Amino acid sequence: MRAVFVDKDGTLVENVPYNVDPARIALTPGAAPGLRALAHRFRIIVVSNQPGVALGKYPPEALAVVRARLAELVPLHGFYFCPHAPRAGCGCRKPAPGLLERAAREHGVSLADSWLIGDILDDIEAGRRAGCRTVLLDNGNETVWEMSPQRVPHHVARDLAEAANLILEHERAMA
């Protein structure tokens, strides 16, 4: 079993800080067709840092509504989030690989045969640390650019549709 792990805010949906209102959830350009194309070959699993829970902006239960709305918009096999504050030191907050490792265990996914798509280098590092191939959406959301070997993406794309095409082209070349 293979998966494409997708960051939520800024990658899958427009980045509206602390948004849990399903009416305000808007997909990023290329998200719907890109994920539909990938869903024929991969499980689509969202992995997201959600510090709003730790900061008291919303309860963890509010994310069930977000997951339900996303499942209406795109093929979705799983939704995992880190509820901890940025400096909590947990193993699930990206750039740690904990969310991907947990999802892989629960879905029987091979991380080495999977991908992560994200819009910042913390996403890329989480994917690489988990053993996945990675695609960075170069959409202007990364502003720090602290580089290390674990933060170099395998591919760079403008949006999720282009990321999906890169992944599918890679899969065809490997077949």
As annotated, the active-site residues are 7, 9
Closest CA to 154 of 105, 173, 20: 173
Largest Cα–Cα distance in the chain? 48
Q: Which of 106, 67, 93, 103 is nearest to 115 (CA)?
A: 103
User: Which candidate, 168, 160, 92, places its Cα nearest to that of 130?
Assistant: 92
